[in-house]
Structure 1
Amino acid sequence: MTQPFAIAVAPNGARRTKADHPRLPITAAEIARDAAEALEAGAAMIHLHVRDAGGAHTLDVDLYREAMAAVRDAVGDRLVVQVTTEAVGRYQPSEQIAVIDALRPESVSIALREILPEGEDERAPASLFERMEKAGMLHQIIIYEAAELDRLDALCTRGVLPGGPLAVLAVLGRYTEAGATEAEFEAFIAAGIARHQWMLCAFGPLETEFMERAATAGGHARVGFENNLWLPRGQLAPSNAAIVSATAGVIGDSQRGIASADDLRGLWREPSAPVPADKASASGTRPAKPDLSHGVSG
């Protein structure tokens, strides 16, 4: 059966401010407003970042609880509510793990290279994933290049990560003028990302075009002001909901339909499958460190 197309809205991110777009949500009330609008436009999930009093990215538990409560008041359970653990050069893996344990959110996004830096002790992250699995938490692993798919497989094979398919977010581009590129997308497809429950995010004004390609290839979409401020044909988006609506329009004749939050929950809770034998060995390529000067997406 063809999977419905799930759209996640990422309304703010860790770096942009109202100087980038006056409608970028910062407060809990603004995030809840955008959540409700995005739901009506077709979103199944909201990806949460929160800011401190000075507007800086934070993993503060109390601020997260305030934003999560505001979103739930606005939309109930009609959106999956996902929190980020993005480090932004500020947080260590132990702090990222601590916020997950304190919040016990419905869903969480975790960058592979942040939570499991190569060559470092894997026991604490492995224990975290075991706890999340037991709690039924919907974890999504962020990867920034195709070579990380081989590392995911190796970690699954060794039992550090749960058996696949995993929920994976592939990131195209960074906060640069070039944004997402064709070569990045093709590399993820060639590396077999379709063996996972995969979602795509793409920096820059070609976001909707890449989401159309993801939909055709069986993936899902994460869109919004965190990664892009523009609608197709170069118009500045008036809101996050407008970007979600444009994304919902790209499925065309694919017969996929738009996923609800419950659809997405079901997709991410499908039984684990063994890693294919031909994908069980790790790549020799070491992923680069995050480009903190331009930012990544978490």
Structure 2
Amino acid sequence: MTTLPKILVAPTGARRGKSAHPALPITIDEIVETCRACAAAGAGGVHAHIRADDGSHSLDLERYRTLVERLEQEFPGWFVQVTSEAAGRYDAADQRTLIRALKPKAVTAAIRELVPDAEAEPEARALYHWASDNGVAIQHICFDRKDMDRLIGFIEDGTIPGRSHQVQLVLGSYDGSKVSRPEDIEPFIQPMLALKETQAFDWMLCAFGREETDCLLRTLELGGKARIGFENSLWNRDGRVARDNAERVSELVSLAQASGIDI
């Protein structure tokens, strides 16, 4: 399984559009150009979303194939991860179909979306095992401790195979109802630490709003990886709106290096 980069840029997301920030990339050409700037700023890869012609979130197979091919051609060796996010438009069956058809090297899948209930567990188990057998690295998204507990349960009962797992922790919420706070990170990761003798976790965190930077710095201090970008936050540490995704990456890299963190 490919190791997650220390810093992964999430430049687009499924929700924000140009009205939120004119530098938020929507088209494939814009995403590629944004990736070029973010790679120069220090990002080790991209968490990529695609959009339909009207700008809405999409899981269109051909658009994803085109984007992945462009990124792999223009940035050889760079980490390219796609999303299977439902975002209220798709269901677990749509997500499974995309992952099997696209067969990406890396993809995110939220526990609560891919396995919404007990009835979905057999299909999810089949997908997790298929992915393991076919070199598809699934990064499991956990939005809260309940998601984390379910993830641990799926690992322990064999629904999710193997002893090495990629995890994406989401600290806070898109709508701001749950604030991102650095002090909430350690309790969030405790279930993974409890299994460190038998399981390996390559974990990453994203956060929201003006608290994003401090949360990501704390994540790096704790040995985690950082996902940064306009999907989650438009703001620099001082509260100013960032010029673009590359500025967010550059700020985090500079602050991490100033703190003695190896990027």
The TM-score normalised by the length of structure 1 is 0.80
- 1:186-218 Cα deviation digits (max 9, x unpaired): 431444458421100001111111111001111
Match of 2:55 in 1: 55
Q: 1:1-298 maps to which residues of 2 (within 5 A)?
A: 6-77=6-77, 79-177=78-176, 179-182=179-182, 184-192=184-192, 195=196, 196-252=201-257, 256-258=261-263
User: What displacement does 1:48 show?
Assistant: 0.8
Q: Distance in 1 between matches of 2:115 and 2:175?
A: 26
SS in 2 for 1:83: strand
CA contact (8 A) 1:173 1:202 kept: yes
User: What displacement does 1:126 show?
Assistant: 1.0
Aligned length: 255
User: What displacement does 1:34 show?
Assistant: 0.8
User: What displacement does 1:149 show?
Assistant: 2.2
* 5+ long unaligned stretches in structure 2: none
CA contact (8 A) 2:5 2:45 kept: no
- 1:224-256 Cα deviation digits (max 9, x unpaired): 000000111112111111111111123246655
RMSD: 2.0
User: What displacement does 1:130 show?
Assistant: 1.2
AA aligned to 1:233 is: D
AA aligned to 2:254 is: G
CA contact (8 A) 1:105 1:137 kept: yes
Note closer, same or farther for the CA distance 1:151–1:21 as it changes in structure 2 (3 Å cut).
same
Q: Which structure exhibits the higher relative contact order, with contacts defined as CA atoms closer than 8 Å and separated by 6 or more residues?
A: 1
- 1:69-119 Cα deviation digits (max 9, x unpaired): 222233122x21111000011111111011011111110000001111132
SS in 2 for 1:201: strand
Q: Distance in 1 between matches of 2:260 and 2:132?
A: 32
Q: Distance in 1 between matches of 2:4 and 2:60?
A: 34
- 1:141-178 Cα deviation digits (max 9, x unpaired): 00001232222121111110023441101001112346
Match of 1:265 in 2: none
SS in 1 for 2:145: coil
* 5+ long unaligned stretches in structure 1: 259-298
Q: Distance in 1 between matches of 2:98 and 2:4?
A: 31
Q: How high is the sequence identity, in percent, across the aligned residues?
A: 38
